[in-house]
Amino acid sequence: MATTKEYKDFVPEALRSVPSVTAKPMMGEWLVYSEGGYYAGIFDNRFLLKKTAGNARYGFSEALLYEGAKMIYLVDNLDDADFLKEISAVTVEDLRKKKK
């Protein structure tokens, strides 16, 4: 099932407190970037977050995008802007550290 336009429009609005957040189309779904770095995605009407050491503490359920892919976290609470800003910042920072 592909992501609906309504859900694709909803997620960036829910992430409005995240610095420089954008959603870019990729193979029928959407990749989510903050400050230029890819850290999450909108897939099949789900907001999925890349796994990092820092965001593991939140106890998210894991999801699989496709067979053979790495596990990724399912974020189902998109109503708390402060929480979304926090988990986004932790994830983006961890991914920056990993690149170095």
Q: Which of 55, 63, 44, 57 is nearest to 93 (CA)?
A: 55
* Domain ranges, residue 38: 5-99
Number of domains present in the structure of the chain:
1
| Bridge partners for 59 per DSSP | none
**What would the two tokens of residue 64 be?**
């699989």
Query: Of all helices (H) and strands (E), which one includes residue 42?
Result: strand 37-43
Print pLDDT tens along the chain (100 aa). Answer: 789 999 999 999 999 999 999 999 998 899 999 999 999 999 999 999 999 999 999 999 999 988 898 999 999 999 999 999 999 999 999 999 987 6
CATH number at residue 65: 3.30.1460.30
